[in-house]
């Protein structure tokens, strides 16, 4: 009928449509002001996380991680050469260089494998890089520790304290660079960055706690512990240095969990409670003067803070808060354009 606005066979298509095209159901119902405009504008298609394009890698952070890895390996190789006799230094140097070359080759193939995965490749590569670096470095540190234990000469406190300082700087520094490359560099919201920094600080403090207890094995001492006790302490710290940072890296990019994340629980049990028990046993049973009272106090404070966090999660679960509000946990992923929403029940666990 004339004036009805209906499309007839003799009329040209509407503006914006090519010949042969028809209006979709949303367009036929009208625009934003029409009665059928409930679905206007049409919803945007959201790609899965595995298909989302990754931001470009940061060249400064990649250079910093390479510098930290190479300098740490070179310094540890120098310690290995200094502990060997004159005729064995060439063979020790050849073995150390061969180990470094194998480490770089394995890292190269792990990077190629991670890039072929469906999930974001940088996440898996970061965890593999940390695992391989600590695995190779701690093997060399173990031989240094055995060399100091078998050395009958007067111990050099400066060299041993320098080794402790080197490990205490380089190992946490690499972790900070890896977290900055994967998370902090691509986050725009200030609140989200502060949450990530707070979580990062807890991991670094735990790393320093483990390194301090491990370094007490090769620093100068008046009375040695039994061999089984020293070996158990070294490999316990070794295993935690391998696993715990990888767990923390895996949880930093996840959405807000309704329950207590895995890393705070592991930190409470495996780092703070266990190391406090080991230090107390060394102090009471063996009268070990190398036990750090400062880190024992850190363990007690961390147990209190993380215990309060776990209790808050337990109360929130008992109260029926199935979902935590965005932004309350450091592992929250921001929503639209990095802006945090504040809707939902307010439950704020405090770790710090």
Beta carbons of 242 and 135 less than 8 angstroms apart: yes
Poorest-pLDDT segment among 86-90, 93-97, 172-176: 86-90
Beta carbons of 175 and 130 less than 8 angstroms apart: yes
- Sign of torsion over alpha carbons 213, 217, 218, 221: positive
Task: Please name which of 261, 301, 265, 296 lies closest in space to residue 278, comparing C-alpha atoms.
Answer: 296
Q: What is the mean pLDDT of residues 236-258?
A: 82
What angle do the packed helices 190-215 and 157-182 form, to 10 degrees? 150
How many Cβ atoms are within 10 Å of 2's Cβ, its own excluded?
Answer: 6
What's the longest Cα–Cα distance across the chain? 109
* Residue 186 pLDDT grade (very low, low, confident, very high; cuts 50, 70, 90): low
Residue 205 has what pLDDT?
Answer: 95
**What is the Cα–Cα distance from 5 to 3, expressed in whole angstroms?**
6
Residue 134 has what pLDDT?
Answer: 94
**What is the Cα–Cα distance from 11 to 89, expressed in whole angstroms?**
92
**What is the Cα–Cα distance from 111 to 62, expressed in whole angstroms?**
13
Q: Which position has the higher pLDDT, 298 or 57?
A: 298
User: What's the full length of the chain, in residues?
Assistant: 352
How many Cβ atoms are within 10 Å of 190's Cβ, its own excluded?
Answer: 10
* Residue 183 pLDDT grade (very low, low, confident, very high; cuts 50, 70, 90): low
**What is the Cα–Cα distance from 62 to 66, expressed in whole angstroms?**
6
Q: What angle do CA 260, 261, 265 make, to 5 degrees?
A: 80
> Helix, strand or coil for residue 131?
helix
Residue 212 has what pLDDT?
Answer: 94
**What is the Cα–Cα distance from 251 to 199, expressed in whole angstroms?**
10
State yes or no: pLDDT of 344 exceeds 80: no
Q: Where are the alpha helices (DSSP H) in 151-224?
A: 157-182, 190-215
* Residue 323 pLDDT grade (very low, low, confident, very high; cuts 50, 70, 90): very low
**What is the Cα–Cα distance from 164 to 212, expressed in whole angstroms?**
8
- Which percentage of the chain shows pLDDT scores above 70? 65
Beta carbons of 270 and 203 less than 8 angstroms apart: no
């Amino acid at each position: 009928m004339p004036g009805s606005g209906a499309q007839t066979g003799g009329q040209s298509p509407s503006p914006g449509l090519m010949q042969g095209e028809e209006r979709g159901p949303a367009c036929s119902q009208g625009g934003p002001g029409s009665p059928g405009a409930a679905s206007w504008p049409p919803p945007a298609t959201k790609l899965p996380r595995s298909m989302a394009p990754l931001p470009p890698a940061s060249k400064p952070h990649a250079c910093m991680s390479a510098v930290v890895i190479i300098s740490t390996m070179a310094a540890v190789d120098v310690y290995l050469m200094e502990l060997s006799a004159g005729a064995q230094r060439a063979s020790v140097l050849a073995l150390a260089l061969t180990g470094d070359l194998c480490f770089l080759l394995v890292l190269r193939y792990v990077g190629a494998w991670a890039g072929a995965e469906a999930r974001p490749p940088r996440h898996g590569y970061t965890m593999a890089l940390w695992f391989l670096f600590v695995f190779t470095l701690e093997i060399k540190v173990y031989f240094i520790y055995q060399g100091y234990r078998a050395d009958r000469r007067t111990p050099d406190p400066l060299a041993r304290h320098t080794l402790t300082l080197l490990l205490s700087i380089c190992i946490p520094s690499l972790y900070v660079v890896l977290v900055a490359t994967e998370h902090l560099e691509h986050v725009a919201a200030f609140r989200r960055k502060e949450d990530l920094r707070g979580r990062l600080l807890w991991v670094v403090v735990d790393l320093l706690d483990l390194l301090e207890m491990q370094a007490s094995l090769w620093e100068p001492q008046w009375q040695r512990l039994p061999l089984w006790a020293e070996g158990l302490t070294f490999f316990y710290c070794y295993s935690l240095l391998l696993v715990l940072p990888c767990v923390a890296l895996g949880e930093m990019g996840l959405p807000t969990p309704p329950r207590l994340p895995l890393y705070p629980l592991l930190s409470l049990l495996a780092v703070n409670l266990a190391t406090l028990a080991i230090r107390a046993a060394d102090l009471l049973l063996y009268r070990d003067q190398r036990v750090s009272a400062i880190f024992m106090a850190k363990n007690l404070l961390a147990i209190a803070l993380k215990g309060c966090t776990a209790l808050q999660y337990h109360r929130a679960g008992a109260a029926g808060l199935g979902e935590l509000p965005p932004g309350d946990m450091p592992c929250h992923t921001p929503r639209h354009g990095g802006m945090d929403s504040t809707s939902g029940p307010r439950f704020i666990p405090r770790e710090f």
